[in-house]
Every structure is written in structure tokens, then in C-alpha cells.
Amino acid sequence: MALLLWSSAGDVIPGADTAPRAGLLLGLGAGLLGVLSPALRRRATPLGTDAVEQAPRGGAVVAPAAPSRQVAATTAALQDAAGTLGRPVGAQVASRTSSKASVDHARAALRFVVTGGTITADGLEVVTEAGDARTVAWRELASVAARRMPPDPPFARTLLVDLVPTTGSPLRLLASTRLDYRRLPGGAAPSSRENLRRLVTLALAHNGQLEIDAASADFFAGTGEPPTLGSLRLFAEYDARYG
């Protein structure tokens, strides 16, 4: 039975057991992703009329116009988080400790962040950064999108996945989100990004109406990277689509 360990950076989640049974389980998970990858692409749709313009794979994108008050508030919060680290813009996060600090500061500055939870047969039971407990069924999910934060510290192209239910705020999953990925088909993957892909694949298997953001489709299919929002302002405009 594989032992799930969390890294201090919240990204790599190595398994302590390399027994053949663990390899078989991981193979089953990879097989499920391979079967559903074409479906992920077929389900790819823009996020409504205010969709982000699609960029080349992994490239920066230009976000649409959004309510100025929300954009200004989000931009200010992100700038404050960047200033907390006391590093010049463009400085590289060099150490593992600094990387962990970047994850923590990025998480504190974002809305909708899920800190942890459990994957169930019916959906997700999670706790948010604000301390709220939420239960969201697979059938209640309407759409999903992936983005990378701006490149400057403390965000350092942080990967985020937004699961958007039909009602209520999104569930924003980061590399540091501690879900019980051992419950995924095939068990936990070696990295958080692969776990996030597998989670979306599982959600799609339970909910054929789940819409995959077109700009994120290659990432969820395992063949590309999500778009990077190249500045705090662009991320704030993307974030404002959720009200």
C-alpha cells in the first residue's frame, strides 16, 4: 500500500512504496487518462463570451476587460503579497525554503483557494483558505480551467486549476492543495500537476457535461501547458470573471 508524502513545496508527492502493485495502479491511472484524453479535447470550450484569448501552447495570454473595482482590489492584494517577500521584481526564488514561502504567499493572496479535502465517489469535500467546508458533487461542476500565475515572485508561474460549479464560487486548486489523491484511479501520481490532470479526468468521467476551457484542453489532455497570465493585472482580470 503506497504511502502518500507531502513535500514542503507542495509540488512533488513521492510514494514510499515501489512494489509492483503500486506500479500496476499507476498504470491503470495512466490508461484512464489515455482513454479520456480525446474526450477532454472534444469537450474543450471557451469560458463563455468573456473567454481569455487562446495563446500558443504555454504562452502568455491577454485577458478580457473586467469590472475595474474588482480588478483593482485583486491587483492590490497580489502586489502586497509580492512586496511581503521583499524581493525585487524578476528576482529568482533560489532555495527550497524560499520556494515554500512563495507558495504560501501566493495562496494567501488568491481567492477561492482550497487548502485540502477528500475525493469521494460523489464529488469533493474540501476546506477553503477561509476555513469554509464545502461539498461539491461531480454533477454540480459546470466548467474547469487551468492557468499559470505571472512569472515574478512570489507567484513564479504557480499552476492553478479552477473547478467551477453551477452555483457558488470556484474551487481553486494549487500544487499545495492537499487532496487525498490516493483515491484517484491508479492512486496518487508522482507530481501535483499530474494529480490535478487525473482529478479533472475523473470529474469528466462522472460528468459528461463538464466543459473544458479551450485554452486549457491540451494541459488536461497531458499534451501541453496552460496559458500563463503575464502580469498581475492580467491575472486580476481573469480572476474577476468569477465576480
What is the model's pLDDT at position 86? Answer: 45
What's the pLDDT tens digit per position in 107-128? 677 999 999 999 999 999 999 9
pLDDT exceeds cutoff 70 at 196:
yes
Please give the DSSP secondary-structure letter assigned to residue 213.
Answer: E
Query: Is pTM, for the whole model, over 0.75?
Result: no
For the chain, the domains span 20-242
DSSP labels, 117-149: EEE-SSEEEEEETTS-EEEEEGGGEEEEEEEE-
148, containing H or E segment: strand 141-148
What's the pLDDT tens digit per position in 17-50? 444 444 434 444 545 455 455 555 556 665 543 3
What is the model's pLDDT at position 165? Answer: 98
Question: 9: which 3 cell numbers?
Answer: 513545496
Q: In the chain, what are the helix, strand and coil shares in percent, each to the nearest 5?
A: 40, 20, 40
pLDDT exceeds cutoff 90 at 73:
no
DSSP lists the bridge partners of residue 178 as 116
Cis peptide before 154 (omega within 30 of 0): yes
pLDDT exceeds cutoff 50 at 212:
yes
Where residue 198 falls among pLDDT bands split at 50, 70, 90?
very high
Question: 102: which 3 cell numbers?
Answer: 512563495
